[in-house]
């Protein structure tokens, strides 16, 4: 009787997992197929088209009414700079909060925790006024600054938890040998924290790569747009609306993130689980 109940529970669990997988994957597969579908309409009575074409991909880069190549380069530049500075800032903040004891430490931790409770778009007006006063509107530097400074707010607790699992004896031994805080941080802590650093870097890169709200809010000229803003304009502008070309653009946006996750999957899983394994 117990074996029968166990099998029924497993069967129901597998059915639910299959249904959830279909619901999650079907829109992505539909977009992928639509990217190779002839014509400009994303709707089709059949799932697979009669023939496949790559004309939408070439049109994104060759059509003079679009500057998709520039948007792609803009997004890549913003994402890479944000990843570097955001990961570095998050790591340094987490190291200080984990290893140093100072008067306002608890207040800083509480502030970071409270900031995580509010959605980021609530600060859009303040960000706009701040960058407007420094003449940084419509610049990529504005996005890089926001992404880089916002990364510690979302990731400091995660990286701090990893630092907390590293024995202090390693740090103390290095200090006895005459190592400075910077040497301990760069030569001991960073190599040990490679999994969580890769996880944070992938997270920051993905957020900067696909972000639309902040990029649409701060970037005004067409040449400064990112891919997300450019594709939004392509799909909503009644004069240039081409949904299959939009689908092709979505595929090109997804390719770097997919490749990145496939290459770094082992490190991402290790970064999420190594803290528990060390404890």
Residue 161's Cα: distance from chain center in Å? 20
pTM comes to 0.83
- Residue 108 burial by CB count (10 A; 0-12/13-18/19+): exposed, middle or buried? middle
| Residues 274 and 203 grouped into a single domain | yes
196 sits in the region (left: phi over 0; alpha: psi -120 to 50; else beta) called: alpha
| Residues 23 and 98 grouped into a single domain | no
178 sits in the region (left: phi over 0; alpha: psi -120 to 50; else beta) called: left
CA-nearest of 143, 180, 160, 183 to 92 is: 160
> Tokens standing for 52?
């496949």
Look up residue 99 and give its DSSP letter.
H
| Residues 126 and 41 grouped into a single domain | no
Alpha-carbon gap, residue 176 to 233, rounded angstroms: 60
Alpha-carbon gap, residue 252 to 69, rounded angstroms: 11
| Residues 192 and 125 grouped into a single domain | yes
| Residues 124 and 25 grouped into a single domain | no
> Tokens standing for 213?
């709200």
| Residues 168 and 70 grouped into a single domain | yes
| Residues 208 and 133 grouped into a single domain | yes
Structural domain total, the chain: 2
If one counts every other C-beta atom within 10 angstroms of the C-beta of residue 133, the result is 9
> Tokens standing for 44?
């089709």
**Helix/strand/coil for 256:** helix
Show the domain range for 160: 58-278
Alpha-carbon gap, residue 5 to 24, rounded angstroms: 29
Q: Please tell me the predicted confidence (pLDDT) of residue 139.
A: 93
CB distance 231 to 253 below 8 Å: yes
162 sits in which H/E element: helix 140-164
Residue 92 sits in a domain whose CATH number is 1.10.3720.10
CB distance 154 to 113 below 8 Å: no
Alpha-carbon gap, residue 120 to 123, rounded angstroms: 6
Q: Please tell me the predicted confidence (pLDDT) of residue 83.
A: 95
Alpha-carbon gap, residue 206 to 185, rounded angstroms: 26
pLDDT tens, position by position, for the chain (279 residues)?
667 888 888 888 999 999 999 898 888 888 888 888 887 666 677 777 778 888 888 888 887 777 888 999 999 999 999 999 999 999 998 988 888 888 888 888 888 888 878 777 778 888 889 999 999 999 999 999 999 988 888 888 888 888 888 888 888 888 888 888 788 888 888 888 888 888 889 999 999 999 999 999 999 898 999 999 988 888 887 555 678 888 888 899 988 888 888 887 776 666 556 544 444
Q: Please tell me the predicted confidence (pLDDT) of residue 279.
A: 41
């Amino acid at each position: 009787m117990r074996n029968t109940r166990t099998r029924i529970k497993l069967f129901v669990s597998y059915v639910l997992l299959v249904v959830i997988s279909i619901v999650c994957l079907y829109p992505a597969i539909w977009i992928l197929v639509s990217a190779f579908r002839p014509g400009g309409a994303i709707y089709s009575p059949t799932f697979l088209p009669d023939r496949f074409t790559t004309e939408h991909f070439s049109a994104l880069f060759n059509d003079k009414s679009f500057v998709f190549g520039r948007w792609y380069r803009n997004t890549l530049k913003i994402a890479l700079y944000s990843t570097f500075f955001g990961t570095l800032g998050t790591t340094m903040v987490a190291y200080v909060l984990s290893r140093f004891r100072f008067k306002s430490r608890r207040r800083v931790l509480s502030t970071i925790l409270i900031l995580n409770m509010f959605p980021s778009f609530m600060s859009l007006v303040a960000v706009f006024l701040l960058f407007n006063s420094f003449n940084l509107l419509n610049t990529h530097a504005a996005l890089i600054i926001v992404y880089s400074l916002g990364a510690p707010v979302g990731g400091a607790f995660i990286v701090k938890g990893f630092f907390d699992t590293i024995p202090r004896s390693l740090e103390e031994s290095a200090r006895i040998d005459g190592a400075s805080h910077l040497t301990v941080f760069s030569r001991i802590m960073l190599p040990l924290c490679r999994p969580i650093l890769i996880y944070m870097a992938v997270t920051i890169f993905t957020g900067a790569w696909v972000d639309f709200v902040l990029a649409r809010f701060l970037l005004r000229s067409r040449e400064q747009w990112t891919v997300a803003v450019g594709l939004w304009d392509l799909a909503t502008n009644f004069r240039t609306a081409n949904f299959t070309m939009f689908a092709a653009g979505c595929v090109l946006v997804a390719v770097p993130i997919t490749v990145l996750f496939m290459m770094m999957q082992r490190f991402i899983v290790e970064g999420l689980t190594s803290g528990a394994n060390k404890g």
